[in-house]
C-alpha cells in the first residue's frame, strides 16, 4: 500500500480542529452520566472502611426505610456472577469488578454495598448512613524496596532478561553509577469520573458508559453475567479522559446488578474520592540501576531492577525496567521486574505504564553517568545507540532518536550549555537545564470497520473506536477522507458502540493506528465497488473490513516511538520550590495524522511529566490503609500555573509496515519528561533527586548551594 493514494492534497498531515469540538464547547455533547433515561434510579457505592477482614453484618433495615431507597445490594443478596473466564489479552480478569460475591475485604475501599434510590442525593445519604460491621484482620499496605515477599514476575514482557557477566563488566568499567530511585503511587484522575447507566431493553443489556473500549466492557459484562455477547450493547460516545483507568470497574457491574434486580435503568457514578479506591492507579516503584561505562561513555554494564506492588486479588506488574530493554545495549545487560502483594487495590495501566517510572530511573542514571564521565548527556546517549533491540535482537522499525536529540538541542539552545551544576542565578532562583530520552512501544490490534457510501454522496464510517480526549475521532475522519479520496467534510465517523463490532481499545498508544488500518482496508474495497457508473441505492453501499490477517502477516521488528525531552527549571533554595520554566520535546512517532491534536497529546504528556516530577503523590495512612487527601485539592496535578511554555515538535518518521505510516503518540509524551526535570534540578542545584515527586521539603532537606 502507498501512503498517498491520490494527486489531491491529502487531509492526513494537515491541522484540523476536533470534529465534535463545537458540540463539546456548547454542551451539546453529552457525557455518560448526563444522558437522561425515563424511570432512572441512582446507585451509590459503599466502600469498606477497613483494610482487610470480613463483613460480619450490614444494618440494611434502617437504610431501606429512608426516603426514596429502593434496594441495598451486598454479598448476601446480589446476583451471582462468573469470575472464571479469560480476561483481556488472555489474562485473568481482575475480580475487583466482580462485586458483592463474598464477605471478604481484601483492601481498603473495597465495594461492600450499593444503595439504590430515586435520586442521587437520596442514594448518597442512605449509603453514608449504612452501618457495616467488620471483622478486622491485620493488614500490610507499606511498600518498601526490600519487602520480603517481593518476587520477580512477568508483566509487559518477561520477569527477567539477562546476558553477560554484570559484575565483571562493572569491575572493568571506567565509571560506575549505582543508584536507587523511587516513584510514588499515582492516580489517573481523568476530569470526567467513571459513570455507567445500565438497563434491559427487549432482552438486551444496554450500558451507557465512559470507557476506553466498549467491546472490552461489553465482553466482560457478557462473561460476568453469562450472557451471549450479542445480548450486550455498550456505548461510550464522549469520554472525558481515561489515562488507563477506564475499563471494567465496579460501577458498571453494580449498575447491571441493580438494573436486573429492580427492572429499571440504574446509574452508578463514582465520586472523585471513590475513584482513588475503585479506578486503579499506578503502583509505586523502587528501582535500582547500575551502569558501567568505558571512559568514552560506551556502556559495558546495564542493570535495571524494578519492584512494584500489586493487590492480593489480582496481579498487575508495572514492569518499569521496560525502557532498559529497548533504549541501550551493554555487554552485560540485566533487567528484572518484581512485585509484592499488599492489602491494597489493584494497580493498573496508567499514562505510559512501565515506561513513565522506568524512564525516570534510567534517564536519571544516564545523566549521573554523563556527569561522572564528563561527557555531554546527549553525546552519551548517541554513543550508545544500539543497532538492534538490546533484548529482542530485532531490527528497529525506524528509531530516529538521534534526529530527535539534534533537532531538540537546536531548538532548545543546548549547544551553549555550561555543564557545571549550581552556577546560574536569576535573583533568588538557581537555574538549570536537563534532557532525557523517551520511548514507548508502537503497535496495532485487530480491528473491524464498516464504511458506507451514502446515496447523498457522503460517507459514514462505523468503527468501535474510543476518543478519550485524544482527538481520535478527528484523526480517523482525516484518514478516512484520504482513503476515500474525498474532503473530510463528506465523512462522518461514528465510534464508541459495541454493536459496530470488535476493534482495538484506546490503550497502549495503539488506537489510531489500529483503527486507521481497518478504515483503510474497508475504504479501499468500497472504492473498487463504486465504479464511476455505479448508482448508490438509498440504503447506501457498505463494506466491512477486518485487519486480523493483515496484522498477522506483519514483519517482525522492534517497533517504538521515540523522543528527546528538554527542561529548564528554576529552584529557590530558600523555600525548596521548583518551577519548570520551559519544556521542549521532539518526537519520532511515525506519521502525524493531525498536527493540531497531536501537539495537544504530546504536550499533554509532557505536562503529566511535570506533574509526575514535582507534584503527584498518593499517600496512604498506614494505620487504616486508606488515602490521605483523596481529592484534587490534596492530590495536586499540574495546574495552569505549573505549566509554562511547553512545546512539542516531531521529526519525519514513518512506520514502514503501516499503511498510513503511523506509529502512535498516545503515551510517549510523558516518557522521560520527569527525568528531564530532575536532571535540570541537579543542574540548577548540584543535588540529585532520586525520589519523586521533588517536593519543596525534599529540596530543602537535600540542601543546595548557599542562597
Ligand atoms: Mo493507556 S495507560 O494504555 O490508557
Each residue's pLDDT tens digit, 495-504: 999 999 999 9
pLDDT, tens only, 620-649: 999 999 999 999 999 999 999 999 899 999
Q: What gap in Å lies between CA 255 and CA 207, rounded to an integer?
A: 9
Best residue among 349, 354, 356, 465 to mutate for probing ligand 1, ranked by most atoms within 8 Å of CB? 349
With beta carbons less than 8 A apart as the criterion, state whether 14 and 595 touch.
yes
**Whole-angstrom distance, CA of residue 146 vs CA of residue 352:** 25
Supply angle C-alpha 663, 664, 666, rounded to 5.
Answer: 170
Listed by start position, the domains of the chain span 21-30+445-551, 394-444+554-707
Whole-number pLDDT of residue 96: 85
Mean residue pLDDT of the chain comes to: 96
Give me the phi and psi of 686, to 5 degrees please.
Answer: 80, 5
d(CA 338, CA 346): 15
CATH fold of 21-30+445-551? Aldehyde Oxidoreductase; domain 4 (3.30.365)
pLDDT in tens, 382-415: 999 999 999 999 999 999 999 999 999 999 999 9
Between residues 357 and 83, which one has the greater pLDDT? 357
pLDDT at 2: 40
Residue to substitute in 239, 247, 316, 351 for testing ligand 1 pocket (most ligand atoms within 8 angstroms of CB): 351
pLDDT at 707: 41
Banded model confidence at residue 155, pLDDT cuts 50, 70, 90: confident
Give me ligand 1 centre to Cα 77, in Å. Answer: 35
Residue 88 is predicted with a pLDDT of: 67
Q: Give the C-alpha separation, 699 to 695, whole Å.
A: 6
Beta bridge partners of 305: 288, 336
Please work out whether the CB of residue 242 comes within 6 Å of at least one atom of ligand 1. Answer: yes
Angle of the 595-614 helix axis to the 673-685 helix axis, nearest 10: 50
Q: Are 624 and 51 in contact (CB under 8 A)?
A: yes
Ligand 1 neighbourhood includes 351 CB (under 6 angstroms): yes
Active site residues: 667
* Size of the chain in residues: 707
What was the pLDDT predicted at 359? Answer: 98
> Do 394-444+554-707 and 21-30+445-551 fall under one CATH topology?
yes
Does ligand 1 have an atom closer than 6 angstroms to the CB of 244? yes
Sheet with 195-201, edge to edge strand ranges: 69-74, 111-117, 41-47, 266-269, 195-201, 204-209, 232-235
pLDDT bucket at 3, cuts 50 / 70 / 90: very low
> Measured from the CB, is residue 108 less than 6 Å from ligand 1?
no
Q: Name which of 351, 379, 378, 398 is nearest 650 in CA terms.
A: 398
pLDDT range class, residue 705, cuts 50, 70, 90: low
DSSP string, 188-216: ---SSPPEEEEEEETTEEEEEE--S-HHH
Among the ranges given (193-197, 419-423, 702-706), the one the predictor scored with the smallest mean pLDDT: 702-706
Backbone angles phi, psi at 317, to 5 degrees: -115, 120
Looking at the structure, give the CATH architecture of the domain made up of residues 394-444+554-707.
Answer: 2-Layer Sandwich (3.30)
246 lines ligand 1 (CB under 6 A): no
Helices 472-484, 511-529: axis angle to 10 degrees equals 30
Residue 187 three-state SS: coil
With beta carbons less than 8 A apart as the criterion, state whether 620 and 517 touch: no
* Residue 417 alpha carbon to ligand 1 centre in Å: 35
Is residue 581 helix, strand or coil?
strand
- pLDDT confidence of residue 246: 98
Q: What is the DSSP letter of 182?
A: E
Mean pLDDT of 475-483: 98
Query: Within a 10 A sphere around the Cβ of 690, how many other Cβ atoms?
Result: 21
Q: What is the mean pLDDT of residues 8-34?
A: 95
**Is pLDDT at 614 greater than 90 in this prediction?**
yes
Amino acid at each position: 500500500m502507498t501512503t498517498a493514494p491520490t494527486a489531491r492534497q491529502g487531509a492526513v498531515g494537515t491541522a484540523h480542529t476536533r470534529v465534535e469540538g463545537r458540540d463539546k464547547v456548547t454542551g451539546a455533547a453529552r457525557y455518560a452520566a448526563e444522558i437522561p433515561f425515563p424511570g432512572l434510579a441512582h446507585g451509590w457505592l459503599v466502600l469498606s472502611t477497613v483494610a482487610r477482614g470480613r463483613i460480619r453484618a450490614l444494618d440494611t433495615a434502617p437504610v431501606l426505610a429512608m426516603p426514596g431507597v429502593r434496594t441495598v445490594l451486598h454479598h448476601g443478596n446480589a446476583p451471582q456472577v462468573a469470575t472464571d473466564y479469560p480476561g483481556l489479552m488472555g489474562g485473568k480478569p481482575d475480580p475487583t469488578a466482580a462485586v458483592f460475591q463474598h464477605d471478604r475485604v481484601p483492601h481498603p475501599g473495597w465495594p461492600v454495598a450499593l444503595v439504590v434510590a430515586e435520586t442521587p442525593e437520596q442514594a448518597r445519604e442512605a449509603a453514608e448512613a449504612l452501618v457495616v460491621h467488620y471483622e478486622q484482620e491485620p493488614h500490610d499496605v507499606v511498600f518498601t524496596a526490600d519487602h520480603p515477599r517481593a518476587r520477580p514476575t512477568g508483566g509487559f514482557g518477561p520477569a527477567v532478561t539477562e546476558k553477560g557477566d554484570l559484575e565483571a563488566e562493572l569491575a572493568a568499567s571506567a565509571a560506575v553509577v549505582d543508584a536507587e530511585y523511587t516513584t510514588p503511587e499515582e492516580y489517573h484522575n481523568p476530569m470526567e469520573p467513571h459513570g455507567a447507566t445500565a438497563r434491559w431493553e427487549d432482552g438486551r443489556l444496554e450500558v451507557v458508559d465512559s470507557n476506553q473500549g466498549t467491546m472490552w466492557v461489553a465482553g466482560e459484562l457478557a462473561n460476568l453475567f453469562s450472557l451471549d455477547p450479542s445480548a450486550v450493547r455498550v456505548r461510550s460516545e464522549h469520554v472525558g479522559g481515561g489515562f488507563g483507568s477506564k475499563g471494567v470497574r465496579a460501577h458498571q457491574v453494580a449498575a447491571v446488578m441493580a438494573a436486573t434486580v429492580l427492572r429499571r435503568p440504574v446509574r452508578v457514578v463514582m465520586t472523585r474520592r471513590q475513584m482513588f479506591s475503585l479506578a486503579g492507579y499506578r503502583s509505586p516503584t523502587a528501582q535500582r540501576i547500575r551502569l558501567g561505562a568505558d571512559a568514552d561513555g560506551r556502556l559495558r554494564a546495564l542493570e535495571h531492577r524494578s519492584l512494584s506492588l500489586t493487590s492480593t486479588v489480582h496481579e498487575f506488574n508495572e514492569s518499569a525496567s521496560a525502557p532498559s530493554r529497548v533504549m541501550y545495549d551493554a555487554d552485560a545487560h540485566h533487567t528484572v521486574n518484581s512485585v509484592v502483594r499488599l492489602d491494597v487495590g489493584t494497580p493498573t495501566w496508567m499514562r505510559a505504564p512501565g515506561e513513565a517510572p522506568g524512564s525516570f530511573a534510567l534517564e536519571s542514571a544516564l545523566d549521573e553517568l554523563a556527569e561522572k564521565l564528563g561527557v555531554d548527556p546527549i553525546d552519551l546517549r548517541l554513543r550508545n545507540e544500539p543497532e538492534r533491540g538490546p533484548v529482542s535482537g530485532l531490527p528497529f522499525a525506524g528509531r530516529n532518536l538521534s534526529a530527535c536529540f539534534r533537532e531538540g538541542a537546536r531548538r532548545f539552545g543546548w549547544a551553549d550549555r555550561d555543564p557545571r551544576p549550581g552556577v546560574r542565578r536569576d535573583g533568588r532562583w538557581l537555574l538549570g537545564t536537563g534532557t532525557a530520552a523517551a520511548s514507548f512501544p508502537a503497535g496495532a490490534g485487530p480491528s473491524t470497520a464498516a464504511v458506507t457510501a451514502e446515496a447523498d454522496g457522503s460517507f459514514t464510517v462505523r468503527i468501535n473506536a474510543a476518543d478519550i480526549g485524544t482527538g481520535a475521532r478527528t484523526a480517523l475522519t482525516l484518514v478516512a477522507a484520504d482513503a476515500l479520496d474525498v474532503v473530510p467534510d463528506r465523512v462522518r465517523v461514528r465510534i464508541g458502540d459495541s454493536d459496530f463490532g470488535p476493534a482495538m481499545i484506546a490503550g497502549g498508544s495503539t488506537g489510531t493506528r489500529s483503527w486507521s488500518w481497518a478504515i483503510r482496508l474497508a475504504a479501499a474495497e468500497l472504492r473498487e465497488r463504486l465504479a464511476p457508473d455505479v448508482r448508490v441505492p438509498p440504503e447506501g453501499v457498505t463494506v466491512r473490513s477486518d485487519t486480523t490477517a493483515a496484522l498477522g502477516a506483519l514483519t517482525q521488528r522492534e517497533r517504538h516511538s521515540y523522543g528527546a525531552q528538554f527542561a529548564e527549571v528554576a529552584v529557590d533554595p530558600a523555600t525548596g520550590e521548583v518551577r519548570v520554566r520551559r519544556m521542549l520535546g521532539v518526537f519520532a512517532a511515525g506519521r502525524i495524522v493531525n498536527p493540531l491534536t497531536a501537539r495537544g497529546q504530546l504536550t499533554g504528556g509532557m505536562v503529566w511529566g511535570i506533574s509526575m516530577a514535582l507534584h503527584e503523590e498518593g499517600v496512604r495512612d498506614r494505620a487504616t490503609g486508606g488515602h490521605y487527601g483523596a481529592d484534587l485539592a490534596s492530590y495536586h496535578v499540574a495546574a495552569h500555573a505549573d505549566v509554562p511554555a511547553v512545546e512539542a515538535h516531531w521529526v519525519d518518521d514513518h512506520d514502514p509496515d503501516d499503511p498510513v505510516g503511523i506509529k502512535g503518540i498516545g503515551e510517549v509524551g510523558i516518557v522521560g519528561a520527569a527525568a528531564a526535570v530532575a536532571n535540570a534540578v541537579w543542574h540548577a542545584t548540584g543535588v540529585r533527586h532520586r525520589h519523586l515527586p521533588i517536593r519543596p521539603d525534599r529540596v530543602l532537606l537535600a540542601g543546595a548551594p548557599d542562597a
